[in-house]
Chain A
Amino acid sequence: MTARTAKRVQTLCIYTALVLGAVVFVIPFAWMISTSLKPLNETMSLPPRWIPSVVQWQNYPEAIEQMKLFWRYTGNTLYLCAMTVIGTVASSALAAYGFSRIEWRGRDKVFILVLATMMIPFPVIMVPLYTLFRELGWIGGFKPLWVPSFFAGAFNVFLLRQFFLTLPKELSEAARIDGASEWQIFLHIILPLAKPALIVVALFQFMATWNDFLGPLIYLTDQSDFTLALGLQAYQSKEGGTDWHYLMAASTLVVLPVVILFFFTQRYFVEGIAATGGKS
């Protein structure tokens, strides 16, 4: 077996594994799209029916119409996404830098506190948080949904810290010898190199805000302030059944932008380093 055939066999193996896995992983999405094009009485069949008997494209405009404020909800959601992404990326990059690239006494002990904040089950902090936002007069508005993202959430700080720590120490030291301040090192050396991780953080935050149901449910008090995730319940009624075809059509519309966003941004976090010359 020559090296070339060996390479080919390897490629073939990888492809087979990837295709098999992809089939399993694509099931939920394929099912969602197929359901979104079905008549109502073909949804939820057991085992699932993959090809609808009639393809009902009109489910999409009808779903939008039934949600009534679809575009308004989209606007609200995009606003919240923009605010939380900006807040998260900026604040957690700062904090992560402080936890990784600057050495100060007790740093790693304080970092345990960062991790600890993620271990508190959410149901039990809902009441105090609500009370806090009420004291601030924020209930009924968007502020409880985006202001916290400006305070460096633990998940993102942890993620960025881990990435910052993989960058060689010599980078900072060389810059320090050149007389650069910490701010300059942060902005000019670390941030550009950590672009893949920053984009991952931005993407995750975008998705989290985009899909958040509980937050808007608790804090919003006006139907026209709803987000898309909350608006999806327009198709579910306890005593009239669920309009599954509309629910799936609207869900597809809601998810599609994220899929596209993911498809086109992966270049930046998967190939980002190679494109900018990297560090080697």
Chain B
Amino acid sequence: MTSTRLGLFGLFFLSVILFGFWLEEENPHKTEDGRIIIEYWDKWSGAEREAMQELVDEFNRSQDEIYVKFLSVSNITRKIMLATAGGMPPDLAGVWAADLPVFATQGALTPLDAYALEYGIAPSDYLPSIWRQLVVHDHLWGLPTTPATNALHWNKDLFRQAGLDPERPPHTIAELEAYNERITQFDDQGRILVLGHLPTEPGWWSANWSFWFGGDVWNGHDTLTADSEANRAAMNWIASYPERFGPKPLLGFRQLSGVFASPENPFFRGRVAMVLQGPWMYNFIQNFAPEDFNWGVAPFPALRLEDYGTSLVETDCIVIPRGAQHPELAMAFLDWLQQPEQLERLCLGQLKFSPLAEVSPDFYRKHPNPHIRIYRELAESPLARSRPQILTFNEFSSDMGSVIDNLVRGEQSPAEALQELQARQAALFDRKHTQWEKVSNARLKEWSSQ
């Protein structure tokens, strides 16, 4: 009796395992009609995913050789890292151009130079400010999908209420601060009701303020310069906020900023008049701002008037990881996607501007965002900037975020904060840079021979 029970227990245990193994099939490498499956992972979710899915479906319908299997999850970097480490990366992966320097120098990507030649893809087809982000150490690593620039977004009603011309945004930092003084209001208990501008609202580009102060945070080659004149000027500017408005009122004000993607966003609620933002603001305003929300877009003010028109250009892009099973077929899809018709549809679907040099006349007519041309002009401008191609950018950026938070709380002086940061980050930067130099000759040779 008991041995039967024991047997049953073991049998049950085993049969569950066998059942699982039997139920789950191996992932096929070909579709039922014999097409080769191309794995394509991207980082979009929600509406952005839908826009890409439509294009993928259309491509698949037109094909009898290739089937693109599109997978989209929001936290994609970790998935790509692990898959690369495991030696089975997808055939195509959507990443941020800012990640290319690390991926490329670590040998995780296939250089696309030869393919670009084969398919007739030339730098002149794209905006220079976008193309140069796809090139690391003179090799091409990805092709762009949807780009963005950042710009000043201002609330016209708040301008009007403060007696400012709602159609004339500030051009220089001095002007911005003059406007700021006009717009900012306190209540009788010393709390801030409305603020003209605050660098931490929302403060997404902590590492790049130096752009509008006419500089950068590295020498473009081998040295990190977080304490450069421009970055120091930027940090002094940020440190002036607690001096002028008081750290306590600022802290109280910041605590009332709700979730960014919600009606509590201080910009939508008319609590901040000017913010540094990008083309996605249109979607958020549609979803969360009051219906009569009256806003404009213009270049963000610069320290010197000659730098007015500076912006940070960013782009999503698609790469072929090293070790991809079918790089040629992946490239066929990528080339199809780069055709103006497809790329413009993708950018329209994701409400961005086109990365291509030529834009079809229809594009702006179809585009729902009335300000889309301004973002595009910023990317066309010779003043357009891109993220420094440094291997420690993520760490640098979060460290700068910490510094700025300290400055706004009035806890540290800019000079002291930057000195500490420079010491720490320069050490990390030098370490990564030395590591790269050890392997650079071999890598460069390998890339050129492909």
B24 touches A240 (CB 8 A): no
A162 contacts chain B at the CB level, 8 A cutoff: no
CA distance A241 to B259 in the complex (A): 10
Return the CB mask of B20-57 against A: 1 if under 8 Å, else 0: 11001011000000000001010011111100000000
Return the CB mask of A82-108 against B: 1 if under 8 Å, else 0: 010011001000000000000000000
Collect the chain A residues with CB atoms within 8 Å of residue B41's CB. 221
Interface size on A, residues (CB 8 A): 48
B78 contacts chain A at the CB level, 8 A cutoff: yes
B48 touches A240 (CB 8 A): yes
A44 touches B85 (CB 8 A): no
Q: Which of A159-192 contact B (CB under 8 A)?
A: 181, 183-184, 187-188
Collect the chain A residues with CB atoms within 8 Å of residue B287's CB. 40-41, 240-241
A222 touches B17 (CB 8 A): no
Collect the chain B residues with CB atoms within 8 Å of residue A127's CB. 82, 85
A223 touches B74 (CB 8 A): no
A187 touches B9 (CB 8 A): yes
Q: Given A127-B82, A141-B27: A240 and B280 within 8 A (CB)?
A: yes
A187 touches B6 (CB 8 A): yes
Interface of A is mostly: helix
CB distance from A64 to the nearest CB of B (A): 16
CA distance A239 to B280 in the complex (A): 5
Taking a contact as CB atoms closer than 8 A, the residue among B2, B72, B82, B280 that contacts A183 in the complex is B2
B261 touches A242 (CB 8 A): yes
CB distance from B147 to the nearest CB of A (A): 12
Collect the chain B residues with CB atoms within 8 Å of residue A235's CB. 46
Return the CB mask of A191-222 against B: 1 if under 8 Å, else 0: 00000000000000000000000000110011
Taking a contact as CB atoms closer than 8 A, the residue among B17, B90, B283 that contacts A240 in the complex is B283
Taking a contact as CB atoms closer than 8 A, the residue among A42, A44, A141, A239 that contacts B258 in the complex is A44
Taking a contact as CB atoms closer than 8 A, the residue among A146, A218, A237 that contacts B44 in the complex is A237
Q: Given A45-B258, A142-B24, A143-B24: A234 and B46 within 8 A (CB)?
A: yes
Collect the chain B residues with CB atoms within 8 Å of residue A126's CB. 78, 82
| CB closest chain-A residue, reference B283 | A240
What would be 14 A-B contacts, judged by CB atoms less than 8 Å apart?
A44-B259, A45-B262, A143-B20, A187-B6, A221-B39, A223-B72, A233-B45, A237-B44, A237-B46, A237-B48, A238-B45, A239-B283, A240-B283, A241-B262
Given contacts A143-B20, A237-B44, A239-B48, 13 further A-B contacts (CB under 8 A): A40-B288, A130-B83, A134-B88, A139-B86, A142-B20, A147-B17, A221-B39, A221-B71, A230-B73, A233-B46, A239-B283, A241-B283, A242-B261
Task: Using CB atoms and an 8 Å cutoff, list the residues of chain A in contact with chain B.
Answer: 40-46, 83, 86-87, 90, 126-127, 130-131, 134, 137, 139-143, 146-147, 150, 181, 183-184, 187-188, 217-218, 221-223, 230, 233-244
